[in-house]
């Protein structure tokens, strides 16, 4: 079974440009999460989808960040326009729905490293 996959693994862009990160969760997982770690800081929650709906987007830093999950499958996270402080590693995670998971274990992808110059 394929795990959570993220693309690209590394992106280097200039300040002011746009970047779109993609996450493919484990097939059948209703829950999809975005996290990020900026240099030297802790891993921070960004938002949580349940299927195609945003359950919790309290961690989104500002309106330059837009997350979508059309059709409840893969998700994209767009940063537009990118700023220097957006540099970091963006992790995606997925988990089964409450009715099928006891542990609520989150499965994380390898992350997308974003460098804004």
Partner 1 sequence: DAKTTQPPSMDCAEGRAANLPCNHSTISGNEYVYWYRQIHSQGPQYIIHGLKNNETNEMASLIITEDRKSSTLILPHATLRDTAVYYCIVRVAFGFGNEKLTFGTGTRLTIIP
Q: Pick between residue 71 and residue 104 the one whose CB is nearest to partner 1.
A: 104
Torsion of CA 106, 11, 63, 35, to 10 degrees: 20
Window contacting partner 1 (CB under 8 A); options: 14-22, 61-69, 80-88, 104-112: 104-112
Residue 113 near residue 7, CB atoms below 8 Å: no
Q: How far is CA 88 from the centre of its chain?
A: 12
Q: What angle do CA 10, 11, 16 make, to 5 degrees?
A: 155
* Binding footprint of partner 1, residue count (CB under 8 A): 28
Of 14-22, 61-69, 72-80, 108-116: span binding partner 1 (CB under 8 A):
108-116
Binding site for partner 1 (CB under 8 A): 4, 31, 33, 35, 42-45, 48, 55-56, 59, 89, 91, 93, 95, 98, 101-111
């Amino acid at each position: 079974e394929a795990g959570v996959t993220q693309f690209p693994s590394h992106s280097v862009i200039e300040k002011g440009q746009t970047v779109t990160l993609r996450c493919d969760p484990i097939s059948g997982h209703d829950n999809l999460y975005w996290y990020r770690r900026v240099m030297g800081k802790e891993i921070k929650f960004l938002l949580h989808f349940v299927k195609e709906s945003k359950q919790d987007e309290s961690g989104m830093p500002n309106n330059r960040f837009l997350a979508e999950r059309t059709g409840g499958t893969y998700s994209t996270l767009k940063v537009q326009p990118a700023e220097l402080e957006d540099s970091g590693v963006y992790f995606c995670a997925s988990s089964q729905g409450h009715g099928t998971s006891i542990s609520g274990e989150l499965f994380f992808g390898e992350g997308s490293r974003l460098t804004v110059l």
